[in-house]
Each structure stands twice: as C-alpha cells, then as structure tokens.
Amino acid sequence: MSKICLLAHAKANLTLDVLGRRPDGYHELESVMVPLSLADFLTLEKAPRISLSSEGPFAAGLPDPAADLASEAAALLKSWTGYAGGCAITMRKNIPLAAGLGGGSADAAAVLHGLNRLWDLKLERQELLNLAARLGSDVPFCLLDRPAVARGRGEILEMIPAAALDLVLVKPPVPKSTGAVYRKLNPDRMGNRPDNQAVVRALALGRPGALTAAIGNVLTPIMSGDHPEIGRAAQTLLDCGALAAGMTGAGPTVFAIAENRSKAKEIVALAGRRLEGCEIMEVQTLPSPRSLSG
C-alpha cells in the first residue's frame, strides 16, 4: 500500500462541564462528545519526507504547514517508531478553523490512524491513544471517533450508546483562543452547568427533546460575554424552531438540535437569512455502532 484516503470527522461537545483546575494548568472536564458527519478529507502517500498541502473551503486560514497539528502527528509517530521514511499529506479542509469543531485534532487523529496502516507500524490502539493525548486534549476523542463521555483533560473516554441527531451549526466570525477562555474561568463560580447523566440517557433513547433542559457548557458565559454574536446566534436558532442551542468546546460555533432532518433544513433556510457573516450548515451526529446502542 502506498496511498491511503481517510475522513477526519469534526466533533461537537453537546455538554462541557469543568470539575476543577489541575496542578498542571489544565482543567478536569466532563464532556459529552459526538463525532459529526462534517469531515476533512485526507490523502496520505508514502514519500521520503513529511510534507503537507491543503485545499478546500477552509484551507486559506491554516498556519504554516510545518506547524500544523497534522504534520506534528506525523513527526511524532516517525520519531516514536523510528520509521525511516515520510509521507505527503493532502487535506481538503471542509471543517471551519478555530471553531470548537476539533478540525485540527481530527486531522491529527486521522494522520496517526492512517500512518499506522500506511507505514505498517502495527501500533496497538492504546499506544496510538497515548500519542494522541500528547498532541492535544481532543485528539484521543477524534481517534476514537464514537460518541463518548470525555473526562480528565479529555483523554479518558467512556463510549456511550447514542442515536444520531440532526444539528445545525452556526459559526460567527469571532476569533478565539482556547487557552484564554479557560484562563478566564472561575471554577468556583460557574453558570450553565449541564446535566450529563440526563444527556447520556436522552442520547441512548434517541430523544432529542429530552436534551433541551440538560445541555450546558460552562465556557459559554465567558465567550458570549466577550462576543454577543454567540448569544444572538443561539437565540436566532431557537426562534427558528430549534429544540435547543448550545456552544461546542471553547466556541465560537453554536449548534442547534433539530427535531429531524427536514426541520434542520428549515432552520438553515430561516436562520441563514438573519445571521449575516456566519457559516451555517446542517450536519448529523454519527451514532454509536449497533453493538453499543442495542
């Protein structure tokens, strides 16, 4: 095999709770996470050195290729295993950047998974997950690519049974720095905490309506305090018929939960007219495999 093609799915944090600040500066999380149908498309080809090129709707804002997390993932795997060759990575970027949708983490996870096969490294799942955690807090989830509750820094993953959901994503044109958002959080005074157990139950039963009162993200008041566009996007989605609206990760993307796919399309059409300058799209969450959801 000299070439491999992969999808790198975006993620959404349906909930995000912080249980406290850790001595290493990170925060102890409890977050219900789901992979999305929205994905970057990656091609990996054997080559003498590691290189990266990108194209597609969101390629323009990417950092220097050598500094991209996908290149870092390839370099980490090469140094960890002592593999002599390299790879040419081509990415079609369909996931908005710096959005809270885990695009960079998804690409890095796909590179780890893909190169393990392309380079015939035969690394075990757990070894790949450990390398993923070194690259970033969301990379292990992206490698798992299944609905899960994430704990610890984000690397302790409990798979959960979950039906698919129809979502609408809105990304306002707002800059973000995940680190800066976490630094502003006061773990002793947090609003908007989720009921994670209720969310897990609602996902298992496939009842989107039961998510309305249960979702929450403790980072929302910080981001929407600095950027009122976020609250406006959430309110517009609710006004257009969403069952619930929340922010994913450290934002700024807002997701709306729709009753079904035709309702989601209707929300996109209605809200799209009112939310100028925002990226807006309809997506599905990827369900857990049958063996889990029963």
Active site residues: 11, 138
217 touches ligand C5P by CB under 6 A:
no
Q: Which CB sits closer to ligand C5P, 55 or 158?
A: 158
Q: Determine if 73 is a binding residue for ligand C5P (CB under 6 A).
A: no
Q: Which of 103, 114, 136, 208 binds ligand C5P (CB under 6 A)?
A: 136
Residue 101 or 202 with smaller CB distance to ligand C5P: 101
In sequence order, the 6+-apart residues with CB closer than 8 A to the CB of 11 are: 33, 34, 35, 36, 101, 102, 105, 106, 138, 141, 142, 248, 249
> Counting contacts by CB under 6 A, is residue 27 touching ligand C5P?
yes
Q: Which one of the spans 6-14, 21-29, 110-118, 278-286 is the region binding ligand C5P (CB under 6 A)?
A: 21-29
Under the binding rule (CB under 6 A), the answer on residue 130 touching ligand C5P is no
Interface with ligand C5P includes 289 (CB under 6 A)? no
Cα dist. 55→41, 67, 147 in Å?
10, 16, 28
Quote helix, strand, coil % in the chain, to nearest 5.
35, 30, 35
- Using CB atoms, what's the residue nearest to ligand C5P? 137
Q: How many residues does the chain have?
A: 294
146 binding ligand C5P? (CB under 6 A): no
Residues 6+ apart with CB under 8 A from 154: 29, 31, 137, 138, 140, 141
Q: Which is nearer to ligand C5P, 40 or 282 (CB)?
A: 40
**Two tokens, residue 64:** 């220097």
- Position 11 contacts ligand C5P (CB under 6 A): no
Q: Residues 158, 148: contact at Cβ < 8 Å?
A: yes
265 burial (CB, 10 Å; 0-12 / 13-18 / 19+) is: middle
User: Which residue number, 27 or 113, has a Cβ lying nearer to ligand C5P?
Assistant: 27
CB 254 within 8 A of CB 231: no
By rule CB under 6 A, what count of residues binds ligand C5P? 11
Asked if 182 is part of the footprint of ligand C5P (rule: CB under 6 A), the reply reads yes
> Under the rule (CB under 6 A), what is the footprint of ligand C5P?
26-27, 29, 136-138, 153-154, 178-179, 182
